[in-house]
């Protein structure tokens, strides 16, 4: 039960983020929903590496660190990539807002001016 | 026996977990439901703080610190800045006509994943899955989390580490080039 409840929170966050990312018109709201999805994935990765061990690995492993903290390493990389994605995404949104003064994804569906 | 089980199962830990879990999920729903985008971004900060709390409950203190600095400190400020800069044709964060099918798809996805999570036999770390020697190593890893994480990041995953730094540099340069006035 201890592992499952963390995984369920991750799944709920991911589903809420998916709903927001697919249904929102405002581009910044879509980015915020993407952040929710990233966080759900991070919770899942850290919880799995905290509580479980791969079955094939648990027979012969000499370095416990390599399976106990891999999820945390993944989460560090996910957070870094998310930061890069948000910086780039907001820059694109502001550039679009400057050139055609809208931030709605439905208005900016085609790439031409 | 599950490894590293210290105060887990104690009443206060349970209470803290449920408070954090509830506030995280409720404010995540608020992020996608509130029409005022600025308030939605404030609720996003609450969600990110809740996730940092979950990291602490999962014995990932370093990640909780990273979460506070990167998400709560930097990304949320960036998002609020962008909201304020693009605020004047304010119509709020409305949804388009696909809302109902999208909600159905997300609900189905959530149901299927919760079903799969609760019906899987997890190979829990503990005295049944590991021999005593591995248990000792694992206990050492849990008490010395941050040095072990540093070894992993800078030795086993060093290639990914360097590639991610190049990616971050490229993203920052790209965003600067995009927003620079001409």
Q: Quick check: B123 and A58 in contact, CB under 8 A?
A: yes
pLDDT above 60 for A44: yes
Q: Does residue B134 fall inside a structural domain?
A: no
Question: pLDDT digit string (tens) for A17-33?
Answer: 999 999 988 889 999 99
What pLDDT does A102 receive? 79
Question: What confidence category does residue A111 fall into, taking pLDDT thresholds of 50, 70 and 90?
Answer: low
Contact (CB<8Å) A90/B59: no
Query: Is A24 part of a structural domain of the chain?
Result: yes
Contact criterion met (CB below 8 Å) for B40 and A32:
yes
Domain presence at residue A113? no
Distance CA B84, CA B79 (A): 9
Annotate B120-160 with DSSP letters as a single string. S---BSBTTTS-HHHHHHHHHHHHTHHHHHHHIIIIITHHH
Bridge partners (DSSP) listed for residue A104: A26
Q: Are A3 and B122 in contact (CB under 8 A)?
A: yes
Interface test with B, best of A21, A25, A86, A97 (most B CBs within 10 A): A86
Chain A residues close to B168, C-beta within 8 Å: 80, 83-84
- pLDDT greater than 70 at residue A56: no
Task: Give the containing element (helix H, strand E) for B91.
Answer: none
Q: Do the domain assignments include residue B64?
A: yes
Task: Say what the pLDDT of residue B3 is.
Answer: 59
In a domain, A23, yes or no: yes
Domain region containing A80: 2-100
d(CA A27, CA B130): 48
What CATH code is carried by the domain that includes residue A87? 1.10.287.3510
Q: Is residue A81 situated within a structural domain?
A: yes
Domain containing residue B41: CATH number? 1.20.120.1200
Q: Which of A91, A95, A97 to mutate to test the interface with B (most CBs of B within 10 A)?
A: A91
B86 occurs within a structural domain: yes
pLDDT of residue B150: 87
Domain span at B34: 1-90+111-126
Contact B174 A91 (CB under 8 A): yes
| A69/B130 touch (CB, cutoff 8 Å), yes or no | no
Please, is B134 exposed, middle or buried when counting C-beta atoms within 10 Å of its C-beta (0-12, 13-18, 19+)? buried
Q: Is B38 an interface residue toward A (CB < 8 Å)?
A: no
Which 139-168 residues of chain B touch chain A by CB within 8 A?
140-142, 145, 148-149, 151-153, 156-157, 160, 164, 167-168
Q: Give A58's pLDDT tier (boundaries 50, 70, 90).
A: low
Write the ipTM: 0.89
CA distance A33 to chain B (A): 7
B98 in A contact zone (CB under 8 Å): yes
Residue A87, exposed/middle/buried by CB under 10 A (0-12, 13-18, 19+)? buried
pLDDT under 70: residue ranges of chain B = 1-9, 88-93, 127, 181-182
Q: What was the pLDDT predicted at A1?
A: 58
A76-105 per-position pLDDT tens digit:
999 999 999 999 999 998 888 888 877 887
Which pair of tokens denotes residue B51? 């996730």
Number of domains in chain A: 1
Angle at B115 between CA B113 and CA B119, to 5 degrees: 115
Radius of gyration of chain A measured on its C-alpha atoms: 19
For residue B144 the two structure tokens come to 């010395």
Among A19, A31, A76, beta carbon nearest to B66: A76
The three-point CA angle B111-B34-A41 to 5° equals: 40
pLDDT of residue A38: 95
Contact (Cβ atoms closer than 8 angstroms) between residue B41 and residue B71? no
Q: Is residue A88 part of a domain?
A: yes
Confidence (pLDDT) at B65: 93
Domain count for chain B: 1
């Amino acid at each position: 039960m201890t592992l499952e409840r963390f995984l369920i929170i991750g799944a709920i966050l991911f589903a809420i983020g998916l709903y927001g990312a697919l249904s929102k018109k405002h581009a910044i709201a879509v980015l915020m929903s993407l952040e929710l999805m990233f966080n759900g994935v991070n919770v899942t990765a850290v919880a799995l590496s905290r509580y479980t061990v791969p079955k094939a690995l648990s027979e012969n492993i000499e370095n416990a660190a390599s399976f106990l903290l891999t999820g945390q390493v993944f989460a560090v990389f996910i957070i870094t990539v998310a930061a890069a994605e948000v910086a780039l995404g907001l820059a694109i949104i502001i550039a679009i807002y400057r050139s055609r003064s809208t931030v709605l994804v439905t208005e900016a569906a085609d790439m031409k001016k | 026996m599950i490894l590293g089980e210290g105060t887990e199962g104690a009443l206060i830990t349970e209470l803290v977990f449920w408070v954090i879990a509830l506030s995280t999920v409720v404010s995540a729903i608020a992020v996608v439901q509130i029409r005022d985008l600025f308030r939605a971004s404030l609720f996003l900060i609450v969600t990110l703080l809740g996730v940092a709390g979950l990291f602490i409950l999962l014995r990932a203190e370093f990640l909780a610190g990273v979460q506070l600095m990167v998400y709560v400190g930097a990304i949320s400020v960036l998002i609020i800045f962008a909201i304020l800069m693009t605020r004047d044709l304010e119509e709020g964060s409305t949804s388009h006509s696909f809302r109902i099918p999208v909600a159905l798809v997300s609900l189905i996805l959530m149901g299927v994943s919760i079903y799969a999570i609760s019906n899987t036999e997890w190979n829990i770390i503990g005295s049944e899955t590991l021999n005593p020697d591995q248990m000792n190593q694992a206990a050492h890893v849990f008490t010395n989390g941050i040095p072990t994480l540093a070894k992993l990041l800078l030795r086993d995953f060093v290639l990914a580490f360097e590639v991610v730094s190049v990616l971050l540099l490229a993203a920052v340069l790209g965003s600067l080039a995009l927003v620079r006035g001409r």
